[in-house]
Amino acid sequence: MGKIISFANQKGGVGKTTSAVNIAASLGILGYRTLLVDLDPQGNATSGVGIAKKGLKCTIKNVLMRENTAKEAIIETEFENLHVIPSNMSLAGTEFDLLQDEDTEPWAIMRNALSEIRDQYDYIIVDCPPSLGMLTVNSLSASDGVVIPMQCEFYALEGLSQLMITIGKIKTHYNAGLTVTGILLTMHANRLLLTQQVKNELKKHYAGKLFETHISRGVKLSEAPGFGMPVYYHDKRGKGTAEYLAVANELSTRI
Protein backbone atom coordinates (compact mmCIF):
# COMPACT_ATOMS: atom_id res chain seq x y z
CA MET A 1 0.00 0.00 0.00
CA GLY A 2 1.41 3.37 -1.02
CA LYS A 3 2.50 5.90 1.60
CA ILE A 4 0.69 9.26 1.56
CA ILE A 5 2.86 12.21 2.56
CA SER A 6 1.62 15.78 2.94
CA PHE A 7 3.95 18.71 2.32
CA ALA A 8 2.58 21.37 4.62
CA ASN A 9 3.43 24.78 6.01
CA GLN A 10 0.92 27.57 6.58
CA LYS A 11 3.61 30.14 5.77
CA GLY A 12 3.94 30.83 2.06
CA GLY A 13 7.21 31.28 0.19
CA VAL A 14 9.12 28.57 2.04
CA GLY A 15 9.79 26.26 -0.89
CA LYS A 16 6.89 23.93 -0.13
CA THR A 17 5.68 23.42 -3.70
CA THR A 18 9.23 23.37 -5.08
CA SER A 19 10.06 20.62 -2.60
CA ALA A 20 6.89 18.61 -3.26
CA VAL A 21 7.45 18.68 -7.03
CA ASN A 22 11.14 17.88 -6.92
CA ILE A 23 10.93 15.18 -4.28
CA ALA A 24 8.05 13.53 -6.14
CA ALA A 25 10.10 13.62 -9.34
CA SER A 26 13.19 12.36 -7.52
CA LEU A 27 11.26 9.43 -6.07
CA GLY A 28 10.24 8.61 -9.64
CA ILE A 29 13.88 8.73 -10.73
CA LEU A 30 14.74 6.35 -7.90
CA GLY A 31 12.24 3.87 -9.32
CA TYR A 32 9.22 4.49 -7.11
CA ARG A 33 5.74 4.80 -8.65
CA THR A 34 4.77 8.29 -7.54
CA LEU A 35 1.59 10.37 -7.63
CA LEU A 36 1.75 14.13 -7.02
CA VAL A 37 -1.54 15.59 -5.77
CA ASP A 38 -1.85 19.36 -6.18
CA LEU A 39 -4.09 20.57 -3.36
CA ASP A 40 -3.24 24.26 -3.74
CA PRO A 41 -5.68 26.50 -5.71
CA GLN A 42 -2.68 28.31 -7.17
CA GLY A 43 -1.89 25.14 -9.11
CA ASN A 44 1.86 25.69 -9.11
CA ALA A 45 2.65 22.00 -8.67
CA THR A 46 0.50 21.30 -11.72
CA SER A 47 2.32 23.77 -13.96
CA GLY A 48 5.61 22.69 -12.38
CA VAL A 49 5.30 19.29 -14.05
CA GLY A 50 4.28 20.71 -17.41
CA ILE A 51 0.48 20.50 -17.14
CA ALA A 52 -1.46 23.55 -18.34
CA LYS A 53 -3.93 24.71 -15.68
CA LYS A 54 -6.44 26.15 -18.12
CA GLY A 55 -8.95 23.84 -19.73
CA LEU A 56 -8.55 20.96 -17.29
CA LYS A 57 -11.68 18.80 -17.36
CA CYS A 58 -11.01 17.01 -14.11
CA THR A 59 -9.06 18.32 -11.11
CA ILE A 60 -8.70 17.58 -7.41
CA LYS A 61 -11.75 19.79 -6.85
CA ASN A 62 -13.92 17.35 -8.84
CA VAL A 63 -12.53 14.52 -6.73
CA LEU A 64 -13.25 16.27 -3.43
CA MET A 65 -16.76 17.15 -4.59
CA ARG A 66 -17.19 13.48 -5.57
CA GLU A 67 -18.01 14.40 -9.16
CA ASN A 68 -15.15 12.19 -10.37
CA THR A 69 -13.00 9.45 -8.88
CA ALA A 70 -9.33 10.01 -8.12
CA LYS A 71 -8.47 7.53 -10.88
CA GLU A 72 -10.35 9.65 -13.42
CA ALA A 73 -8.36 12.75 -12.42
CA ILE A 74 -4.88 11.25 -12.81
CA ILE A 75 -2.68 12.58 -15.62
CA GLU A 76 0.51 10.83 -16.69
CA THR A 77 3.40 13.30 -16.96
CA GLU A 78 6.33 13.05 -19.34
CA PHE A 79 8.62 12.38 -16.37
CA GLU A 80 9.72 8.97 -15.16
CA ASN A 81 7.26 7.17 -12.85
CA LEU A 82 5.40 10.42 -12.12
CA HIS A 83 1.64 11.01 -12.36
CA VAL A 84 -0.33 14.03 -11.11
CA ILE A 85 -3.82 14.93 -9.97
CA PRO A 86 -3.92 18.59 -11.05
CA SER A 87 -5.41 21.72 -9.56
CA ASN A 88 -6.37 25.21 -10.65
CA MET A 89 -8.25 28.21 -9.28
CA SER A 90 -11.53 26.29 -9.38
CA LEU A 91 -10.38 24.79 -6.07
CA ALA A 92 -10.69 28.17 -4.35
CA GLY A 93 -13.75 28.17 -2.12
CA THR A 94 -13.90 24.39 -1.91
CA GLU A 95 -13.17 24.47 1.82
CA PHE A 96 -16.61 25.98 2.40
CA ASP A 97 -18.19 23.35 0.15
CA LEU A 98 -16.52 20.57 2.14
CA LEU A 99 -18.01 21.88 5.36
CA GLN A 100 -21.47 21.80 3.78
CA ASP A 101 -21.18 18.12 2.82
CA GLU A 102 -23.75 16.28 4.95
CA ASP A 103 -23.08 12.78 3.63
CA THR A 104 -19.70 12.18 5.25
CA GLU A 105 -17.23 13.75 7.67
CA PRO A 106 -15.65 16.71 5.84
CA TRP A 107 -12.16 15.81 7.08
CA ALA A 108 -12.36 12.28 5.62
CA ILE A 109 -13.28 13.04 2.00
CA MET A 110 -9.73 12.99 0.66
CA ARG A 111 -8.84 9.88 2.64
CA ASN A 112 -11.78 8.04 1.06
CA ALA A 113 -10.90 9.27 -2.43
CA LEU A 114 -7.23 8.27 -2.26
CA SER A 115 -7.98 4.89 -0.69
CA GLU A 116 -9.19 3.69 -4.09
CA ILE A 117 -5.84 4.30 -5.82
CA ARG A 118 -3.11 4.14 -3.17
CA ASP A 119 -2.26 0.52 -4.02
CA GLN A 120 -1.20 1.69 -7.49
CA TYR A 121 1.65 3.81 -6.10
CA ASP A 122 4.62 3.57 -3.78
CA TYR A 123 4.28 7.22 -2.76
CA ILE A 124 1.52 9.81 -2.97
CA ILE A 125 2.90 13.31 -2.39
CA VAL A 126 0.33 16.02 -1.55
CA ASP A 127 1.21 19.69 -1.98
CA CYS A 128 -1.01 21.44 0.58
CA PRO A 129 -2.09 25.09 0.36
CA PRO A 130 -0.25 27.63 2.57
CA SER A 131 -2.93 27.56 5.28
CA LEU A 132 -4.29 25.33 8.03
CA GLY A 133 -7.83 25.22 6.63
CA MET A 134 -10.05 22.30 5.67
CA LEU A 135 -7.99 21.35 2.61
CA THR A 136 -4.87 20.87 4.71
CA VAL A 137 -6.89 19.09 7.41
CA ASN A 138 -8.20 16.70 4.72
CA SER A 139 -4.69 15.99 3.51
CA LEU A 140 -3.25 15.43 6.99
CA SER A 141 -6.19 13.19 7.89
CA ALA A 142 -5.41 11.03 4.85
CA SER A 143 -1.64 10.93 5.32
CA ASP A 144 0.86 8.57 6.87
CA GLY A 145 3.38 11.36 7.30
CA VAL A 146 4.01 15.07 6.86
CA VAL A 147 7.10 16.83 5.56
CA ILE A 148 7.52 20.43 6.71
CA PRO A 149 9.65 22.61 4.41
CA MET A 150 10.84 25.78 6.15
CA GLN A 151 13.37 28.57 5.89
CA CYS A 152 15.97 29.34 8.55
CA GLU A 153 14.32 32.40 10.07
CA PHE A 154 12.73 33.06 13.45
CA TYR A 155 9.23 33.73 12.10
CA ALA A 156 9.40 30.26 10.59
CA LEU A 157 10.06 28.83 14.06
CA GLU A 158 6.86 30.44 15.36
CA GLY A 159 4.88 29.02 12.45
CA LEU A 160 6.38 25.59 13.03
CA SER A 161 5.10 25.57 16.60
CA GLN A 162 1.54 26.30 15.42
CA LEU A 163 1.75 23.64 12.73
CA MET A 164 2.93 21.06 15.27
CA ILE A 165 -0.10 21.88 17.44
CA THR A 166 -2.41 21.36 14.45
CA ILE A 167 -0.72 18.06 13.59
CA GLY A 168 -1.19 16.95 17.19
CA LYS A 169 -4.92 17.74 17.02
CA ILE A 170 -5.30 15.84 13.74
CA LYS A 171 -3.49 12.89 15.27
CA THR A 172 -5.75 12.93 18.34
CA HIS A 173 -9.09 13.35 16.61
CA TYR A 174 -8.83 12.05 13.03
CA ASN A 175 -5.64 10.14 12.21
CA ALA A 176 -3.80 8.34 14.99
CA GLY A 177 -1.17 7.06 12.55
CA LEU A 178 0.03 10.50 11.40
CA THR A 179 3.71 11.20 12.05
CA VAL A 180 6.12 14.03 11.23
CA THR A 181 8.33 12.44 8.60
CA GLY A 182 10.79 15.29 8.67
CA ILE A 183 11.58 19.00 8.66
CA LEU A 184 13.30 20.13 5.47
CA LEU A 185 15.38 23.30 5.52
CA THR A 186 15.08 25.23 2.25
CA MET A 187 16.81 28.29 0.76
CA HIS A 188 19.70 27.30 3.00
CA ALA A 189 22.72 29.60 3.40
CA ASN A 190 25.19 27.95 5.75
CA ARG A 191 27.42 31.04 6.01
CA LEU A 192 24.72 33.13 7.71
CA LEU A 193 24.75 33.36 11.50
CA LEU A 194 20.93 33.36 11.58
CA THR A 195 20.88 30.04 9.75
CA GLN A 196 23.08 28.46 12.37
CA GLN A 197 21.00 29.91 15.21
CA VAL A 198 17.74 28.60 13.80
CA LYS A 199 19.28 25.18 13.11
CA ASN A 200 20.47 25.00 16.71
CA GLU A 201 16.95 25.79 17.95
CA LEU A 202 15.48 23.12 15.70
CA LYS A 203 18.00 20.54 16.91
CA LYS A 204 17.13 21.44 20.50
CA HIS A 205 13.37 20.99 20.10
CA TYR A 206 13.00 18.62 17.12
CA ALA A 207 15.99 16.33 17.37
CA GLY A 208 15.84 13.54 14.83
CA LYS A 209 13.22 15.28 12.66
CA LEU A 210 15.61 17.35 10.53
CA PHE A 211 16.56 15.93 7.16
CA GLU A 212 20.31 15.55 6.90
CA THR A 213 20.34 17.26 3.50
CA HIS A 214 19.36 20.92 3.25
CA ILE A 215 18.18 22.63 0.06
CA SER A 216 20.35 25.54 -1.09
CA ARG A 217 19.25 28.55 -3.09
CA GLY A 218 20.01 28.12 -6.77
CA VAL A 219 19.31 29.81 -10.09
CA LYS A 220 18.53 26.54 -11.90
CA LEU A 221 16.18 25.50 -9.12
CA SER A 222 14.30 28.79 -9.51
CA GLU A 223 14.27 28.52 -13.31
CA ALA A 224 12.91 24.97 -13.60
CA PRO A 225 9.21 25.75 -12.87
CA GLY A 226 9.22 28.29 -15.70
CA PHE A 227 10.09 25.45 -18.06
CA GLY A 228 7.40 23.21 -16.58
CA MET A 229 9.81 20.61 -15.29
CA PRO A 230 11.44 19.39 -12.07
CA VAL A 231 15.03 20.52 -11.62
CA TYR A 232 16.44 17.04 -12.42
CA TYR A 233 15.23 17.42 -16.02
CA HIS A 234 16.40 21.03 -16.27
CA ASP A 235 19.85 20.70 -14.71
CA LYS A 236 20.72 17.04 -14.26
CA ARG A 237 24.16 17.62 -12.76
CA GLY A 238 23.26 20.65 -10.66
CA LYS A 239 23.48 21.09 -6.91
CA GLY A 240 19.70 21.36 -6.49
CA THR A 241 19.21 18.09 -8.33
CA ALA A 242 21.72 16.29 -6.13
CA GLU A 243 20.17 17.72 -2.96
CA TYR A 244 16.61 16.73 -3.83
CA LEU A 245 17.70 13.23 -4.87
CA ALA A 246 19.45 12.89 -1.50
CA VAL A 247 16.32 14.07 0.37
CA ALA A 248 14.12 11.67 -1.62
CA ASN A 249 16.46 8.81 -0.80
CA GLU A 250 16.40 9.73 2.89
CA LEU A 251 12.61 10.05 2.78
CA SER A 252 12.33 6.51 1.42
CA THR A 253 14.23 5.24 4.49
CA ARG A 254 11.99 7.17 6.91
CA ILE A 255 8.60 6.05 5.64
CA 51-26-11 angle, 5° bins: 70
> Domain range for residue 238?
3-254
- Could you write out the DSSP letters of every residue in 203-240? HHHSTTTB-SS-PBP-HHHHHGGGGTS-HHHH-TTSHH
Residues 136, 132: Cα–Cα separation, whole Å? 6
Evaluate whether 5 touches 127 at the Cβ level (below 8 Å): no
Predicted confidence at residue 193, as pLDDT, reads 65
- Say how many domains are in the chain: 1
At 29, which helix (H) or strand (E)?
helix 16-29
CATH number of the domain encompassing residue 34? 3.40.50.300
Q: What is the pTM of this model?
A: 0.95
pLDDT in tens, the chain (255 residues): 899 999 999 888 888 999 999 999 999 999 999 999 999 999 999 999 999 999 899 999 999 999 999 999 999 999 999 999 999 999 998 988 887 776 678 889 999 999 999 999 999 999 999 998 999 999 999 999 999 999 877 777 778 888 999 999 999 999 999 999 999 999 776 666 666 777 777 888 788 899 999 999 889 999 999 999 999 999 999 999 999 999 999 999 999
Residues 9, 148: Cα–Cα separation, whole Å? 6
Predicted confidence at residue 247, as pLDDT, reads 98
Residues 208, 192: Cα–Cα separation, whole Å? 23
